[in-house]
Amino acid sequence: MSDALLKVRDLKIGARVYPPGEKPRDIDIVHGVSFDLEKGKVLGLIGESGAGKSTIGLATMAYGRGGVEITGGEVWVNGREILGTSLKDLRQLRGTEVTYVSQSAAASFNPAKKIMEQVIEASIHASKFSKKDAEARAIDLFTRLGLPDPETIGDRYPHQVSGGQLQRCMTALALCPEPDLVVFDEPTTALDVTTQIDVLMAIKKAIRDTGVAALYITHDLAVVAQVSDEIMVLRMGDMVEHGTTDQIINAPKEEYTSDLVSVRSRKHEGKPPSDNPVLTIEHVTARYKGTNFDVLHDVSMELHAGQTLAVVGESGSGKSTTARVMTGLLPAREGQIVFEDRTLSADLKGRARDDLREIQMIYQMADVAMNPRQTVGTIIGRPLEFYFGMRGAEKHKRIDELLDDIEMGAEFKDRYPAELSGGQKQRVCIARALAAKPKVIICDEVTSALDPLVAEDILKLLHNLQKREQVAYLFITHDLATVRAIADSIAVMYQGRVVRYGTKAEVLSPPFDDYTDLLLSSVPEMRLGWLEEVVEHRKMESAGN
């Protein structure tokens, strides 16, 4: 134990919160967490939002974000206690001995400075290397992280490289001063699956090559299983379980951990499509106002009653645009949208109220999809008034029923959205969509902003409601695990085109086209050694070509 690089003992972290209309009060975010980390090892910190992962990560640099304070415990780095040391000593520690890779590289790089300047800044500041040596070291790291043109990429500005590349540059920035410990705070969460895999591999390789110890913070157990030696599961500031990666994944002791492990394993038998689709879009082409290029090219798909069509693809592939065309928010330039047996106007304004009622939408960010100044009752009640002219007792009875349907009680009627949890907000949005008694509901990344267990419940709820109401879902997502759990048919989109379309069984079985193969194989699986297998598989494929 004495040779541990990082020792955390009974770490307690608190913060002062300012609830509206009440006196400020102090709360505990982390209640006494202890762990050790040896040189060259990777510890994964995993948990839902609010579990205290990032807070613990930052505490290893003796830092607390605004309002957060380390209230007790000890943090030892390289044999010295860092809590309570002077700011001058901390400056030596931060950025050289312990470094940090944040979730959003785009927001962390200074857009006005070249990448190289920022990557070597800490090393030069701490007089660890000369400018020349630091640059040579940076170029070496760029090469090892698999960045294109490692000799010159440092001369570019942050906006001139892609998101995945910038995240790798940030890893180079963290590794450049030869730190002993790197804190990775959700480094791949903001990336597409296909990009995530490259970054993960690069990070893993860099950790192995440099022998640095790392704390890897994420909410995705499948990701952390690929890079960590040990995993610590956190929940609401308490340690739930701590063990080797193998033990956590294959033999979790705690119930919460096994819930997390099994969350992606839900199976759903796809149903074959019926003869008459409820909504069809045919050969749709669309472009945004004021631009001169199409964002959708010849897109066709069908939605069937009581079934789910999943639209998958990475960001920018045209998934959400397809939804906007269906709703009429973005009128199609060519092609048509057919509901049951009538052609709908391309433009929202040309549609009858009843046509609008039939197609409802649920958004990714539930908290901005509801007016913060309206109560839950008003939010759910409005479609009832608007489409069915319900008033008074009749309306209230129906609101109660709808709240019951989404497994929330009538007592939520007078609450404001700010008084609900993330999962509850999304439930209210579902109720608002259901209130219109639609035949089609478009779900735009409805679970991607939620914690895995909450997302799982939302999916279950959607599934049960579909069974009862026979509504068709257009389910937009970038997460293939979600697709497996809910879809009957799948459309794979890439650069504004549908590259693969069919029933779930057809789309998910070989032979694959190149893009679908890339997409499917990029989804992290919850087992050890998956990352290496995929990378090996890709190497062989490209060698074969």
Partner 1 sequence: MTRIPPAALFGLFFTSLYFLMAILAPWIAPYSMTEIVGDVWEPWSADHWIGTDNIGRDLLSRMIYGGRTTIFIATAATMISFTTGSILGFTAAVIGGWVDQVMSRFVDLIMSIPTLIFALVVLSVMPVTLTILILVMGLLDATRVYRLARAVAVDINVMDFVEAAKLRGEGRVWIIFREILPNALSPLVAEMGLRFIFAVLFVSTLSFLGLGVQPPNADWGGIVKENKDGIIYGIAAALVPAVAIATLAISVNLVADWVLNRTTSLKGGRG
Closest to 141 measured CA to CA, from 182, 170, 98: 170
The residue (of 329 and 453) whose beta carbon lies closer to partner 1 is: 329
CA dist list (Å): 379 to 53, 82, 436: 34, 50, 12
| Closer Cβ to partner 1, 15 or 122, answer by number | 15
- Contact positions vs partner 1 (CB under 8 A): 18, 20-21, 24, 327, 329, 348, 351, 353, 356-357, 360-361, 363, 365, 368-374, 382-383, 386-387, 418, 432, 436
Q: Check if the beta carbon of residue 310 is closer than 8 Å to that of residue 483.
A: yes
Is the Cβ of residue 320 or residue 482 nearer to partner 1 in the bound state? 320
Least spacing, CB of residue 458 vs partner 1, in Å: 17
CB closer to partner 1 out of 7 and 425: 425
Q: Least distance from C-beta 269 to partner 1, angstroms?
A: 32
Nearer to partner 1, 312 or 361 (CB): 361
Q: Using CA atoms, how far apart are residues 57 and 234, in angstroms rounded to an integer?
A: 12
CB of 303 to partner 1, least distance (A): 17
Please identify, using beta-carbon distances, which residue of 76 and 386 lies nearer to partner 1.
Answer: 386
Of 143, 173, 145, give the one whose Cα is nearest residue 158: 173
Nearest distance from C-beta of residue 448 to partner 1, angstroms? 14
Strands 181-185 and 98-101, by their bridges, are: parallel
Would you say 199 and 168 are in contact if contact means Cβ atoms under 8 Å apart?
Answer: yes
Stated as kind and residue range, the H or E segment containing 378 is helix 376-388
Residue in 496, 497, 523, 519 with CA at minimum distance from that of residue 507: 519
What does the angle CA 251 – CA 254 – CA 260 come to, to the nearest 5 degrees? 80
User: What is the nearest approach in angstroms of partner 1 to the Cβ of residue 356?
Assistant: 4
**In the complex, what is the shortest distance from the CB of residue 472 to partner 1, in angstroms, rounded to a whole number?**
17
Q: How far is the CB of 178 from partner 1 (least distance, A)?
A: 42
Nearest distance, CB of residue 382 and partner 1, angstroms:
7
Structure tokens at 190: 């903001």
What is the SS3 assignment for 224? helix
SS3 track for 281-333: EEEEEECCCCCCCCCEEEEEEEECCCCEEEEECCCCCCHHHHHHHHHCCCCCC
Q: Taking each helix axis as running N to C, give the angle between helix 163-175 and helix 115-125, from 0 to 180 degrees, rounded to the nearest 10.
A: 20
